[in-house]
Structure formats: C-alpha cells, structure tokens
Amino acid sequence: MAQQYRINEMFQTIQGEGVYTGVPAVFIRLQGCDVGCPWCDTQHTWHIADQDKTDLIIITDKSNESSRWAQVDSCGIIKEMQRLGYVAKHVVITGGEPCMYDLRELTLALHQQGYSTQIETSGTYKVQVADASFVTVSPKVNMKGGLSVRKDALLRANEIKHPVGTAKDIDALDALIQPLHKQLQAQICLQPISQKPRATQLATQVCIERNWRLSIQTHKYIGID
C-alpha cells in the first residue's frame, strides 16, 4: 500500500530562507509536530485530529492556516501540483515536523518527475528521504516536547539552519556540532529570530567570525507567504 501523508497546506512561492533563498518552490506542509517550539508560527499543524480531516482540494484552493488536513499519497500530491499549474521545480517539504513521516516514497516520486526536494526538519526524528534530497536541519534544543536532536540527523544535513536570539543559542549550537565537527558536511546558517536587531547583529558577527552564512527570512521582509 502506498505511503499516505497528511497535507495541511500546499502552495507555490519563493524560498525565503537558507541556501535556497530566492528559488521558486512548491511548499508541502505536513500535519503533526510534537517538538513544541514556543515561537512556532504554524502551531495549527501540531495536532492530528480525525475531525479535521478534509478533501485535498479544500486544502489547496486557498491558504489553510488551520488544523485541517487531507490524506494523500505521492501520486495524488503530484497530480494536485499539476492541476494547480505550479511551474516551480523545487519542492520544500515542511511542517509541522515532516520527518515524523517516511518521506522516501514521496521524494523519489518527485525526483522521477523532474523536481528537486528539500526537507526542513528539527532533527528530532530519523531523516528518511531519497539520497538526492537536500536536508535542512533547524535543530530545536530544550523545547517543550522534550525531544533530543539526533546525531544521525545532523550528519545527514546539507544545511544546519539555527535560529538565534541570544548568545545562549550559539552556545547550544556549539554543544551540538563540536563533537561532530570532523564528520559534519553541512553549511551552517544562522537565522535571527523574528528579525530582531540585536539577534541580527549577533548572528551577523558570528557568521563573519566563523565564515558561516547568515539566513534572513526574506519572505517576511518583502511580504510574501
């Protein structure tokens, strides 16, 4: 039986963060997350309730921003992207926490149709994706859900995109990556939380000192989804 995915939202826009900033992309948002980040702007994706199940067309015909979800397999997802006339060839699978799902079937199917794929995960679940998928780990440390960032997720990452508010956030990242520094292949990106000036100044300074990369949420600056 084909793998089923709970889709909360699907839309076409520009990737606003990280290495792929500026690239046209289709975002597929999956329902379900137990990490518990206090600043999360998609808390409507956290819980999976049977009464919120609906049809895919209801999810994709307008911006969702609700806890509703549709259960679809990879074939159905690709067909819906084609029905909507999406032209972007880069697909970002996010959440919620997308790695609560086995994403190998979906990412392989997308690659076979000529798409590239990117996964945005907290690193608290095993990353099950196609070998060619680009994995962005945004490590969530000491969150309400009590989950630990996995070593294997960090080592699979192509990009480690870390939210920064204060120096403590830099210290938390160092504690994660220093034991793995000889094995890590990922580009390190620091992303100021909520575009706060002090956080931006701190992230910029550290990126210069360490030759890391600054990730600004450009979609919020230019006012797109």
Binding residues for Mg(2+): 42
Q: Which residues are annotated as a binding site for [4Fe-4S] cluster?
A: 33, 37, 40
As beta bridge partners, residue 37 has: none
Q: Which residues are annotated as a binding site for substrate?
A: 14-16, 29, 94
Adjacency order of strands within the sheet including 134-137? 70-73, 4-14, 24-30, 90-94, 116-121, 134-137, 159-164, 187-192, 213-214
Q: Which residues are annotated as a binding site?
A: 14-16, 29, 33, 37, 39-42, 94, 96, 138-140
Taking the C-alpha atoms of residue 192 and residue 76, their distance in angstroms, rounded to an integer, is 36
Q: Which residues are annotated as a binding site for S-adenosyl-L-methionine?
A: 39-41, 96, 138-140
- Using left for φ > 0, alpha for ψ between -120 and 50, and beta otherwise, residue 194 falls in left
Q: Whole-angstrom distance between the N-terminal and C-terminal Cα of the chain?
A: 34
